[in-house]
Amino acid sequence: MYKKILIPLENTKADVTILSHIKPLARMMGASLLLMHVADGWVARNFERLKLAESEEMTADRAYLERVTLELEAEGFEVSHVLAMGEPSEEIIKQSRVDEVDLIAMSTHGHRFISDFIYGSTADKVRHVVDVPVLLLKAPK
C-alpha cells in the first residue's frame, strides 16, 4: 500500500511524535522513508536568487537530517533526506510530487488562532493540494 513515506521534520520535539508513529507502519509496509526539512529563514528563502552562503540554521538543519537518517538506517529502514528552502507547504507539496510518495506523515501543533486564520497552517495547505493521503498527528505541548 505505502512504498514511500514523506516525513516533514521540524527539528523539534514534535518529530519524535511522528517518527514513533510511522516507524511501525513503515516496517509493516516495507516502505522507504523520505525525511524532509524546509529551512524558511531569510537566507533560505533567498539562497538561490542571491547566491548566498548557507546559514548556521541551514547547516544545523542539514546535520539534524543526517543524524536522524543514520539513526533510522541503524534500525533497518531505507531512508533518504532532503533539505529544502522556502515556504514549507509549497516545498512539501513539490517534493511529494518529485519523489512520487504514497503518504505524507506530519505533525501539527493545533490552532494558532490568528496566524492560522490569516495564513492557514502548513498542514492544511498540504492536505488540500496533494493527491496522496496525509497523516496528521498532533504533537504534545
Domains of the chain: 4-138 (3.40.50.620)
Predicted confidence (pLDDT) at residue 117 exceeds the cutoff of 50: no
pLDDT of residue 111: 53
Mean predicted confidence (pLDDT) in 28-40 = 95
Digit-coded pLDDT (tens) for 130-141: 999 999 988 777
Is the separation of the CB atoms in 118 and 130 below 8 Å?
no
- Residues 6 or more apart in contact with residue 7 via CB below 8 angstroms: 18, 19, 22, 33, 34, 35, 36, 104, 105, 106
Residue type, 95: Q
Average pLDDT for residues 53-60, to the nearest whole number? 83
C-alpha span between 138 and 106 (Å, rounded): 9
Give the residue, 43 or 72, on which the prediction is more confident: 72
Would the pLDDT of 45 be above 80? no
User: What's the pLDDT score for residue 32?
Assistant: 98
| pLDDT tens digits, 88-106 | 999 999 999 999 999 999 9
Q: Which pLDDT belongs to residue 114?
A: 46
**Considering the chain, what is the average pLDDT of its residues?**
88
What pTM, to 2 d.p., does this model score? 0.88
Q: What's the pLDDT score for residue 110?
A: 57
